[in-house]
Amino acid sequence: MAVKKKRRLRTLDDVVRLLGSVINQLEQGELEEGRARAIVYAAGVLRQAIEGSELEKRIQALEAAAMEGKL
Terminal alpha carbon distance of the chain: 57
Who has greater pLDDT, 39 or 4?
A: 39
Buried/exposed code over 33-45 (b: 16+ C-beta within 10 A; e: otherwise): eeebeebeeebee
For residue range 9-63, what is the model confidence (pLDDT) as tens digits?
Answer: 999 999 999 999 999 999 999 999 999 999 999 999 999 999 999 999 999 999 9
pTM equals 0.77
Amino acid at 10: R
